[in-house]
Amino acid sequence: AQSVAQPEDQVNVAEGNPLTVKCTYSVSGNPYLFWYVQYPNRGLQFLLKYITGDNLVKGSYGFEAEFNKSQTSFHLKKPSALVSDSALYFCAVRDSLSGGGADGLTFGKGTHLIIQP
Amino acid sequence: DAGVTQSPTHLIKTRGQHVTLRCSPISGHKSVSWYQQVLGQGPQFIFQYYEKEERGRGNFPDRFSARQFPNYSSELNVNALLLGDSALYLCASREDRGTDTQYFGPGTRLTVL
């Protein structure tokens, strides 16, 4: 079974400071990892993904994430936070072994990111 | 290009009723998945359809069913609604199965009274 943990319900960062939103995962095979952002009363917007290759993945709006296989982590980062980054962030995983059509993503419970001016 | 579209935006039903939610994928995308997002939680996988066939199913009761049409649009049906079915229902599309990114629609907010 695949699972995702986002240990922080909320992360508070001052504008201009670096931010990190944490995510750890558990899969049987190789992980396919995703970050999505959700603004109030909206659907999920794709930020970035890791499938294979370079452990540092760059995505939309200046976000990046680092895949760490030994720590089974995929933390989301941004060097300088903006107030407009304030939103709900979800980490998601799919196991490479989830064949047979079971291609659903498993999401974490989400982390509220609050950027203070 | 238009993204994933869903209808209706909001819906209010009473317990025991039936509901049908609709989704149109991004043009060229053949796979559609449905997710349920209860307030305060992450989305939970309900179904995945590819080329009009069910390819995956999450841990949901048989009251939930779906289908995909020849134009790749999809419907999610829920029978005998319960209060606990109140949630945001999200549709996602992608070009093919596998590692391709899933792009989500804005969702349908279902309230069961």
Chain A residue with minimal CA distance to B89?
A43
Higher-confidence residue: B54 or A65? A65
- Taking CB atoms and an 8 Å limit, are A103 and B33 in contact across chains? yes
pLDDT at A101 > cutoff 50: no
Q: Residue A4 has what pLDDT?
A: 96
Which of A105, A109, A111 has the highest number of chain B CBs within 10 A, making it the mutation to test binding with B? A105
pLDDT in tens, B13-26: 999 999 999 999 99
pLDDT digits (tens, 9 = 90+) for A79-88: 999 999 999 9
pLDDT of residue B41: 93
- Chain A: residue whose CA lies nearest to B87: A41
Confidence band for A102, pLDDT divided at 50, 70 and 90? low
DSSP notation for A27-57: -SS-EEEEEEEE-TT--EEEEEEE-SS-SEE
Task: Name every residue whose Cβ is closer than 8 Å to that of residue A54 and which is 6 or more positions away in sequence.
Answer: none
The average pLDDT across A27-31 equals 88
Q: What is the C-alpha end-to-end distance of chain A, expressed in Å?
A: 41
Supply the pLDDT for residue A100. Answer: 47
Judged against a pLDDT cut of 90, whether residue B2 lies above it is answered with no
Q: Choose among A42, A101, A105: nearest Cβ to B102.
A: A105
B99–chain A Cβ distance below 8 A for any pair: yes
Contacts of A108 in chain B (CB under 8 A): 42
DSSP labels, A62-112 = G-EEEEETTTTEEEEEESS--GGG-EEEEEEEEETT--TT----EE---EE
